Structure 1
Amino acid sequence: MSLKPTVNKNDHAQGNLNSDLVIVEYGDYQCPYCGAAYPVLKALMKEFGGQVKFVFRNFPLSEMHQYAKVAAIAAEAANLQGKFWEMHDAIYKNQQNLNELYLFELAEKIGLDISQFKDDIQKAELEEKVDSDFESGVMSGVNGTPSFFINETKFNGGAEDLLELVRENVN
């Protein structure tokens, strides 16, 4: 399966934004497998951040994970204050504490303007962004999280396999 739509300006990206090596993760903030993949992906970016463009798309499995969607919306709200990755990291680091109130604590911890955050998480366009990420995942053949794509091709392996592959091919 290939990635639909391709990576674009609406995506959250970090690392080398002009890199030819693009990794996309479809993730769920409450998924334990995504939580386990998170430190591996951080290690990958620490080692290869100058050579890799890393993109995160929301894929909240709301039936299984009660707070996944609200966490995704919270990260999108943080993005409006230029702090998407800070919120992304804070949620994964504190995944076991996840609930709606705790998201406000994290927002404070990363230095968001809380009254703006409260207003922003109500915005319909943030939920639409999360839903649109989710739909793009469905169209791209994502059926669980985390799911990875390398240069728009689905990668059938976990974060550890991904790190190995990058190590073998980048150096």
Structure 2
Amino acid sequence: MKTPFARMSDDLMNQNSHLNQLLVLPSQRDHYQGVLNASIVLVEYGNYQCPQCREVHQLIQEIQQHFSSEFPEENWLCVVFRHFIDEHLAYPQVQKAAEVAEAAAAQGQFWQMHDMLFTHQEALDDGYLVEYANRLGLDISQFLQDLSKQVHIDRINQDIQSGIQSGVTIAPALFINGIRYRDRWNVEQLMAAITTASY
């Protein structure tokens, strides 16, 4: 029979492993590139104003390019993006930028807007956001209506909630095949982790 201390340390171990696992698995409701049954599924929790999120975005783009040239015929990699906004962040436009991405998604342009928001991370004031929608050829009246009525707030909050359930407290957070990635944010380390996960 286990002592209370042994039971407590077991509980802590279970909690820690629980915090390393993605509890809400990728599905059709997510924004994803690739196929959901790919050998490697990367799930990123991020937001458009965090500088480290932009660095992770660039890392993931490099990795996508590597795999598409290495395995052009195969569905080897799937990338999923979920919004994660920490309420303590001092980023004034972080919520609006997420809504803009979702308003673009409603018109079939999520990934185009996603890339644009990261590319122009230092220019996310309202006027710029409308300009990006214009550049993508979105229906501007529909776009503005979505923003003014905040029709995508629930969708964004679902992403945030799914992150909290998996122990995410701050962005960026990355899961490789459902396991939290906690090594250094560079291409070599990330590629090594992906290669290990693929076996």
Q: Answer whether TM exceeds 0.5 for this pair.
A: yes
Corresponding residue of 1:3: 22
Corresponding residue of 2:14: none
Q: Does 1:32 align with 2:60?
A: no
Query: Could you tell me how far 1:134 is from its partner in structure 2?
Result: 0.5
Query: Could you tell me how far 1:169 is from its partner in structure 2?
Result: 6.0
| Partner-residue secondary structure (3-state), 2:180 | strand
Task: Report the Cα distance in structure 2 between the residues aligned to 1:60 and 1:123, rounded to whole angstroms.
Answer: 20
Query: Could you tell me how far 1:51 is from its partner in structure 2?
Result: 1.1
* Structure 2 alignment gaps of length 5 or more: 1-18, 69-74
Corresponding residue of 2:154: 128
Query: Could you tell me how far 1:48 is from its partner in structure 2?
Result: 1.8
Task: Report the Cα distance in structure 1 between the residues aligned to 2:60 and 2:156, rounded to whole angstroms.
Answer: 21
Task: Report the Cα distance in structure 2 between the residues aligned to 1:123 and 1:10, rounded to whole angstroms.
Answer: 21
**Percent identity at matched positions?**
36
Aligned with residue 64 of structure 2, among 27, 32, 45: 45
Report the AA paired with residue 151 of structure 1: N
Task: Report the Cα distance in structure 2 between the residues aligned to 1:6 and 1:40, rounded to whole angstroms.
Answer: 22
Aligned with residue 174 of structure 2, among 133, 137, 148: 148
Task: Report the Cα distance in structure 2 between the residues aligned to 1:151 and 1:66, rounded to whole angstroms.
Answer: 33
Report the AA paired with residue 56 of structure 1: F
| Partner-residue secondary structure (3-state), 2:153 | helix
2:42 and 2:177 in contact (8 A); partners too: yes
TM-score, normalization by structure 2: 0.79
Runs ≥4 residues deviating over 4 A: 167-171
RMSD of equivalent CA atoms? 1.9
TM-score, normalization by structure 1: 0.91
Corresponding residue of 1:77: 103
* Structure 1 alignment gaps of length 5 or more: none
Figure out how many residues of one structure are paired with residues of the other and give that number: 171
Report the AA paired with residue 44 of structure 1: I
Higher-Rg member (1/2): 2
